[in-house]
Amino acid sequence: MTERKIRVLIAKPGLDGHDRGAKVICRSLRDAGFEVIYTGLRRTPEEIVHSAIQEDVDLIGLSILSGAHNVLFPKIMNLLKEKGADDITVIAGGIIPDKDIRFLKKTGIAEVFLPGSSTQDIVDWIHKNLKRNAFSKAKQNA
**Domain ranges within the chain, ordered by starting residue:** 7-128
**Cα–Cα distance for residue pair 114/124, rounded to 1 Å:** 15
Give the separation between CA 105 and CA 118, rounded to whole angstroms.
20
Using the CB atoms, write b or e for 9-32: b if 16+ within 10 Å.
bbbbbbebeebebbeebbebbeeb
Phi/psi of residue 59, nearest 5 degrees: -150, 140
- Dihedral sign computed on CA atoms, order 136, 137, 138, 142: negative
pTM over 0.85: yes
Q: Read off φ and ψ for residue 17, nearest 5 degrees.
A: -105, 15
* DSSP H stretches of helix in the chain: 20-31, 45-54, 69-82, 98-106, 119-129
Please report the pLDDT score of residue 1 as a whole number: 57
The second-level CATH assignment, the architecture, of 7-128 is: 3-Layer(aba) Sandwich (3.40)
Tell me which amino acid residue 24 is: V
Strands 111-113 and 89-94: parallel
d(CA 35, CA 53) in angstroms, rounded, equals 15
Q: Which residues of the chain have pLDDT under 70?
A: 1-2, 131-142
Q: What is residue 4's predicted lDDT score, i.e. its pLDDT?
A: 86
